[in-house]
Amino acid sequence: MAIDPLSNARSERRWAFAMVGAAMMMLFAIVWASLSPHMNPPSNIENVDPNTLHIAGEFTEDNLGTQVDAKGRVTTRIVTSQFSFAPECVVVPQDMQVTFRFVSPDVIHGLLVVGTNINTMVVPGYVSQVHTMFDKPGDMLMPCHEFCGLGHSQMVAHVRVVPIADFKPDENGRVACAEH
Ligand SMILES: [Cu+2]
């Protein structure tokens, strides 16, 4: 059977259109995810010494958890380590921009909060930063999603989202989960 060169050319053109269309869809998905649900690769490269982060600076025990600064910005600092989060529960306000900052003193950890854009790895030596906003109140699970050793499956934290009316920083701008 003879091959019709014209039909070959048409087929080539159809596939070229399909390929350009697929590439445009992927590009659109990337741009949409980055602009609308704020899903971006880590944009800040910030170093921290994993050997001394518990002794001095931003990630000492007193500074962990949620803090509101003088300009009203909400920042939550968490240390991830084998095999727990410190603190294991954090309080954040609903419908407000919240910045999470994570560090690890030992091995690579990772974490996510289902239904939000919080999903990052925590690599020793770097600060992992995520900006987010929660649109409904409630307790959300934040498990470690990077196998970090034998206790990995026990490694989980809670993010407690409260309505702004119930978000009451103390005189130092700090908000913590109630003891229990
Ligand atoms: Cu872990």
The reported pLDDT for the residue numbered 94 is 96
Which three-class secondary structure state does DSSP give residue 172? coil
**All structural domains of the chain with their residue ranges:** 1-36, 61-175
61-175: what fold?
Answer: Immunoglobulin-like (2.60.40)
Q: How many residues does the chain have?
A: 180
d(CA 18, CA 34): 24
pTM: 0.81
**What separation in Å is there between the alpha carbon of 85 and the centre of ligand 1?**
8
Element (H, E) at 102: strand 98-103
Ligand 1 centroid – CA 83 distance (Å): 6
Torsion-angle region of residue 40: left (phi > 0), alpha (psi -120 to 50) or beta?
A: beta
Ligand 1 geometric centre to CA of 88 (Å): 13
The alpha carbon of 107 and the centre of ligand 1 are apart by a number of angstroms equal to 8
d(CA 162, CA 74): 13
What confidence score (pLDDT) does residue 45 get?
86
What pLDDT, on a 0 to 100 scale, did the predictor assign at position 98? 96
pLDDT given for residue 42 in this prediction:
67
The reported pLDDT for the residue numbered 44 is 74
Q: 């596939």: which residue's tokens?
A: 15
Q: What is the pLDDT of residues 91-108, one digit of tens each?
A: 999 999 999 999 999 999
CA of 146 from ligand 1 middle (Å) equals 6
pLDDT lower than 50: segments of the chain: none
Please tell me the distance between residue 120's alpha carbon and the centre of ligand 1 in angstroms.
Answer: 12
Report how far ligand 1's centroid is from the alpha carbon of 122 (Å): 9
Structure confidence at residue 1 (pLDDT): 65
| Digit-coded pLDDT (tens) for 64-85 | 999 999 999 999 999 999 999 9
- The answer, yes or no, to whether the previous bond of 83 is cis (omega within 30 of 0) is yes
What per-residue confidence (pLDDT) applies to 6?
85
CB 66 within 8 A of CB 92: yes
The confidence score (pLDDT) of residue 142 equals 96
Residue 32 β-bridge partners: none
Distance 110 CA to ligand 1 centre (A): 6
